[in-house]
Structure 1
Amino acid sequence: MRRLVVLTATALLAMVGLTGTALAHNVLVDSSPKAGSSVDAGPPVVTLTFDQPVQEGEQFNSIVVIGPNGDHWEGGETTVDGRTVSVPLRTLGPAGKYEISYQVLSDDGHPVRAQVPFTLTKAGGGTPTPGTNTVSQDSGGGLPVWVWIAGAVVLLGVGVTLALRSGSPKKPVE
């Protein structure tokens, strides 16, 4: 019985320890420009920083910058460097509200989508780009949480079964 308790406790600790961080979605911790900020001119690069590394893959990670007229202002491809995702930004155009829309593939395999609004207070002389770098509506793959839970239950059941079988008293040989 003692062996069963030790084995069960070890299995539970291993499951919690191994899946704790894998089930958390990435959270935006910083952006340039800052959410809700007012700027005289846009930065040369839009930078988003997350609490965990972002999985690489251009089909999963995208940043678009939409201006007050619905025009796109990103000036190149989205890049990933660990926890940082960025895209070059063209010189902005009309003054008004801009929105950084992003999608990143979390470290746990799930996509995270959100927006970061900011306001341009002085009109710039830039021209927009065609909207080719759109935020994908694809799910991005990854494993659903229920798969991890089902796997843990199966492993726990196998462990308990093995512990019960090996813990049974042996019959003396006659």
Structure 2
Amino acid sequence: MTSSVARRLVGGALAAFLVVLASIAFAGPASAHSSLVSSDPARGASVSAGPQRVTLTFNEALQDSYDTLTVVGPDQNFWQQGDAQVVGQRISIALRPLGPAGEYRINYRVTSADGHPVSGQVPFTLTTAGTGTPGPSADGSDSSDDSGIPVWVYVVVVVVVVGVATTFVVRRRART
């Protein structure tokens, strides 16, 4: 390798190093997503009576789109009522009067100012049972929901019809 080629390689490597160093030194702050600052009730709080609303506060304004705020009780039922409201850095929702004592989970999914979704969960504990009536089941099952004929009935009917049709076709071919 000639000395001029070696100088070019060293010069190129030094220039690349200086570009990387300058980009690190002059880089602006990274754009971060919203993060939860506080909640009412507070994370892990024990309350003797259920609050009328839950409110979450974030470090920046939230977009009022695709937001979800639910409260699930120890009975695996929803306890929120109505729609969540976003005002600036806060999202809140009204609660039904709470029922069984135990851990309630505030589940959230919000859209940060930069458009990215942020989700999480804030638990609190109700120490004294209330008299409230829950909303629907959070796991999607509802014992009072009779959605009609079970699927297995349709499967049995299809198997019987296919069996009868096959038997009919086989016997007809055997006769001819």
TM-score bin (small chain): 0.5 to 0.7
In our comparison, the structure showing a higher alpha carbon Rg is: 2
The equivalent residue for 1:81 is: 87
Following superposition, the deviation at residue 131 of structure 1 comes to 5.3
More strand by share: 2
- Is the 2:76–2:137 Cα contact (8 Å) retained in structure 1? no
- Structure 2 residue 134 is the aligned partner of structure 1 residue 121: no
C-alpha distance in structure 1 between counterparts of 2:116 and 2:76, whole Å: 28
The equivalent residue for 1:5 is: none
| C-alpha distance after superposition, 1:25-62 (max 9, x if no partner) | 111111011000100012111100000000112xx111
The equivalent residue for 1:34 is: 42
Q: 1:51-62, aligned counterparts within 5 Å? A: 51-57=59-65, 60-62=66-68
Following superposition, the deviation at residue 130 of structure 1 comes to 2.1
User: What is the letter of the counterpart of residue 27 of structure 1?
Assistant: S
Unaligned 5+ segments in structure 1 are 1-11, 135-174
Aligned residues: 116
* Runs of 4+ off more than 4 Å: none
Q: 1:9-158, aligned counterparts within 5 Å? A: 20=29, 23-57=31-65, 60-130=66-136
Unaligned 5+ segments in structure 2 are 1-22, 141-176
2:81 aligns to what SS in structure 1?
Answer: coil
Query: TM-score, normalised to structure 2's length?
Result: 0.61
Identity %: 50
C-alpha distance in structure 1 between counterparts of 2:75 and 2:137, whole Å: 12
C-alpha distance in structure 2 between counterparts of 1:69 and 1:125, whole Å: 13
| C-alpha distance after superposition, 1:71-117 (max 9, x if no partner) | 00001100100000000011000000110000000111110010000
